Structure 1
Amino acid sequence: MTTLQVSGPVVEPSPVKGWLAVLAVTLGIFALMTSELLPVGLLTPIGSALHVSEGTAGLMVTVPGLVAAVSAPLVTVATGKVDRRLVLAVLIGLVGAANLASAFATSFAVVLVARFLIGISVGGFWSLAGGIALRLVPARHVTRATAVIFGGVEAASVLGVPTGTLIGDFSGWRTAFAAVGILGLTSLACMIFLMPKVAPEATLTFADLPKVFRANAALRVGIAMTFLVITGHFVAYTFVRPVLQADGVEPGMIGALLLAFGVAGICGNFLAGALITKRLRQTAVGIAAILTTAMVLLAVTDHDVYTAGAILILWGLGYGAVPVTFQTWILDAAPHATEAASSLYVSMFNLSIALGALFGGLAVDSFATAGVLWIGGGLALLALLVLLLGTGGAGNSRRAAH
């Protein structure tokens, strides 16, 4: 395995300053994920306003996902000698500007250009932020700080996407994009004033990425389960609004149901944070099983708003556990090459978002809307089989060793 050592003497970070920086990064992750996933709750009104189908509107999720998959390693390598605070600040500022551009867009092409820029930010920011808790807080706080940072992902589901959906329903989708743009600029200010300079690790090259991947079986398993779980989730979740409306759920209730999904996601995030120290592999298995069950139930059950809400809560519990569990798996698999491993993980995560939205869009335009649930459930089931049949003790042995 390629070992990337931290340059210079080891200095114990200040807990107070470190946690302020962690909160700034958490707000950035919240703004990023809200930006990336905001179209999920607004596909129908955006498509109608800009005269494109719901499947085509799904490109608003596909484009940033594909770009982020490429930008994660590119930004990590290209900024190898640059202060991490500066890089993160530039990327989150770009998110704010791109969302404001979307708010004033007069054509779908302009929106896609803005989504392209958001993809650059998502890939670069996340690949650097994934392991940055190691550099901000004392060692005894790293696990908790990582859970807090990735709680920003679930907070985006709880507050960002549902609130954006509600704003879109009552004030129009342009207002929702403008609000997220302002959120991005607020994150930029917090990054500048609350985060210390973070010196880069030893210079990372493109050659380091395949070396880390080839030398580490646990990392390969983590990348594989990320592809299957995230693609499966976003095949279905990107089109959850038309799925629910096709089953008779009133459009005005969609925001409330997404809020229930997000609240469950917060619970799943912190539940997983308590379990993964000793039961990392079992937690990953549970995630795949829950997601499979939830998507199949939503496909086969005749439901009203209450049963749909119950299934979405189950789904949210499972997906809420994904970011902190999968990121921890990746960091444990490559503890001496965190930026290289994180960039590979973020690349696959966002590629999977893009592929999920793309395949889901094709399925929605070509087949019954509920078909996305069967595809998503099938991919989650494959992830479960990979974990049960192909991993052995991967993950747990590393946690036990710490």
Structure 2
Amino acid sequence: MTSADSRSASIHENRTTPRQWLAVGVVTLATFIVVTSEMLPVGVLTPMADGLGISAGAAGTSLTVTGLASAVTAPVAPRFLGDLDRRTVLAAAMLVLALGNVLTMIAGGFGVLVVSRVVLGIGMGVVWGLASAVAIRLVAPRDAALAVSFAVSGVASASVLGVPLGTFVGNAFGWRVAFGSLAALALAVAFAMLFGLPKLRRPAGDGASHAISASRPLLRPAVVTGLVVVVLLVTAHFAAYTYVRPVLESRTDLSADAIALLLLLYGVFGLAGNFVAGAAAGRRPRHTVLLLAAGITVAIAILAGFGGVLAAVAAIALWGVACGGLSVGAQLWMRAAAPDRVEQITGLYVGVFTGSIALGAACGGFVVEAAGVLPMLWVAAALAGASLLVGLLRPGPTRDPVGPDAR
């Protein structure tokens, strides 16, 4: 047995060592940086648009560009990785992400901005697409669901901490410095991955023969059900959440500072929901996701049907918990539905998720322009409710997502 094989075999021991948890922490930091890089234009939109000499709307399309590039990259990347060391792949993806942030930092117009965000989306798609698949291999089997929760928590914490901190840096030193800082952090994480993660080849199940692959298609019924639920639910969420500020302004008498605090509350509850849902979905992924779908449906309906501060606070808190748990819950659903195709199903899931983000923002904007924010909320609530019905009526996963077969 080679030293690499021995090192990889030690991962399957019953106890997760501090070094292995540190490796999971590096993966978590990577997801934090990629999502902060994606979302930072939200916090520095006005100075960024002024600096590039473009409209705020044109600058805002940078998020759509990044999401679409990531949506294309995440599903196809695992097919081309072969037996490449996933540690090296993740480090290289972080270097690509750093390059995307550098190009954004030096952009002088809309053309370079688009190129920079495409590059960033490619790096993001690879990192996010592999993060949970790698995290679950870094720990003992009993800690697999918690490792996925930690890895995905970087996504939630980017909204709570990453974007506000990036906005602070942009306000203090300029928006270009904010993107430069993210590039430097991405470089640091790339080196941390090379020295902090073990060698990780392709999972055994993902290397199945063509005959096995033909008899066990990736798009099996439980996978299709999960993907439809994700499309409907993520589209509903981002259709509404993209316009949450004007919604709160029209439904309450809260000041801009009070709304900012309310959105911070959303983020805090989202982080809590991430870990609670991760623990629950480790045993019952389908039930957990459907409960989250019900929570998002009710939260949006409360905002649409009731005005006032108390209703807004209740809706935002419930929305935060439910949406914060969605990513980890849906990932564990996917892993339970296709435990023999770990990387492929994770990449497909991330691609569908990020594509649905762009779809939701576009649908929300269309309805707002055509009918206003209140009809948009009801449309979003209807989509979320439809996701719940699909999940109830169609086949779901039956395997334990963190059992031996899922590894």
- The aligned amino acid for 2:100 is A
Matched position secondary structure for 2:137: helix
Instruction: Give the Cα–Cα distance (whole angstroms) in 2 for the partners of residues 52 and 205 of structure 1.
Output: 50
User: Counterpart in 1 of 2:154?
Assistant: 152
Deviations 1:203-248 (A, max 9, x none): 7699898975556211111111111111211222233345445666
Q: Residue 141 of structure 2 contacts residue 402 of structure 2 at CA under 8 Å; is this kept in 1?
A: no
Aligned in 2, Cα 1:25/1:101: closer, same or farther, shift over 3 Å?
Answer: same
The aligned counterpart of 2:287 is 282
**Equivalence map 1:121-160=2 (5 Å):** 121-160=123-162
* Residue number in structure 2 paired with 1:374: 378
Change over 3 Å in CA distance of 1:181–1:376 after alignment to 2: farther
Relative to 1, partners in 2 of residues 1:126 and 1:286: Cα closer, same or farther, differing over 3 Å? same
CA deviation map 1:61-96 (0-9, x unaligned): 211111112111322122223111111011112222
CA contact (8 A) 1:131 1:339 kept: yes
- Determine the structure 1 residue equivalent to 2:190: 188
Aligned to 2:316: 312
- The separation in 2 between residues aligned to 1:45 and 1:246, in whole angstroms, is 26
| Partner AA of 1:259 in structure 2 | L
Structure 1 vs Structure 2 CA RMSD: 3.2
Q: Is the 8 A contact 1:223 1:348 kept in 2?
A: yes
Report matched runs for 1:192-207 at 5 Å: 192-201=194-203
Q: 1:12 aligns with which of 10, 13, 16?
A: 10
Q: From the superposition, tell whether residues 257 and 124 of structure 1 become closer, same or farther in structure 2 (CA, over 3 Å).
A: same
| SS of structure 1 residue aligned to 2:284 | helix
Deviation at 1:308, TM superposition (A): 3.9
CA distance in 1, matches of 2:254, 2:106: 30
User: Which one-letter code corresponds to 1:258 in the other structure?
Assistant: L
CA distance in 2, matches of 1:43, 1:380: 29
Does the 8 Å CA contact 2:104/2:113 hold for their aligned counterparts? yes
Work out the CA distance in 2 between the residues paired with 1:49 and 1:246. 31
Distance 2:288 2:366 in 1: 32
Q: Deviations over 1:191-213 (max 9, x none)?
A: 12211221223676998989755
Paired with 2:375 and 2:213, the residues of 1 have a C-alpha distance of 36
CA shift in 2, pair 1:172/1:287, >3 Å = farther
The CA distance in 1 between the partners of 2:214 and 2:348, in whole Å, is 9
How far residue 331 of structure 1 moved from its aligned partner, in angstroms, is 0.8
Q: State yes or no: 1:352 paired with 2:323.
A: no
Matched length: 393
Asked if structure 1 preserves the Cα contact closer than 8 Å seen for 2:203 and 2:342, the reply is no
Aligned-partner SS, 2:182? helix
Q: For residues 49 and 308 of structure 2, what CA distance do their matches in structure 1 show? A: 26
1:230-309, aligned counterparts within 5 Å? 230-244=234-248, 249-253=254-258, 255-303=260-308, 308-309=312-313
One-letter amino acid of the counterpart of residue 82, structure 1: L
Q: Match for 1:161 among 151, 160, 163?
A: 163
1:236–1:376 CA contact under 8 A, matched in 2: yes
Select between 47-56 and 331-340 the one with higher mean Cα deviation.
Answer: 47-56
Partner of 2:225, secondary structure, is helix
Tell whether the 8 Å contact from 1:261 to 1:316 is kept in structure 2 after alignment.
Answer: yes
Counterpart code for 1:342? T
Superposed displacement of residue 301, structure 1:
3.6
- Displacement, 1:130? 2.1
Displacement of 1:170 in angstroms is 5.8
For structure 2, the residue ranges without an aligned partner over 5 or more in a row are none
- Provide the residue aligned with 1:28 in structure 2: 30
Task: Evaluate the alpha carbon distance shift between residue 65 and residue 105 of structure 1 in structure 2; reply closer, same or farther with a 3 A threshold.
Answer: same
Contact 2:146–2:279 (Cα < 8 Å) also in 1? no
Asked if structure 1 preserves the Cα contact closer than 8 Å seen for 2:294 and 2:385, the reply is yes
Structure 2 residue 90 is matched with structure 1 residue 101: no
Q: Is the 8 A contact 2:226 2:391 kept in 1?
A: no
State the AA in 1 paired with 2:40: L
SS of 1:117 mapped into structure 2: helix
Deviation at 1:273, TM superposition (A): 2.1
Deviation, 1:97, is 2.7
**TM-score scaled by length of structure 1:** 0.85
* Structure 1, unaligned runs of 5 or more: 1-6
Counterpart residue number, 1:3:
none
Opposite residue 59 of structure 1, the aligned amino acid is T
Comparing both chains, which one has the higher relative contact order based on Cα–Cα distances under 8 Å and sequence gaps of 6 or more?
Answer: 1
Q: For residues 165 and 313 of structure 1, do their structure 2 counterparts lie closer, same or farther at Cα, with a shift above 3 Å needed?
A: farther
Output the CA distance in 2 between the equivalents of 1:170 and 1:241: 24
- Greater displacement, 117-126 / 202-211: 202-211
Shift of 1:137: 1.8
Q: Is the 8 A contact 2:97 2:186 kept in 1?
A: yes
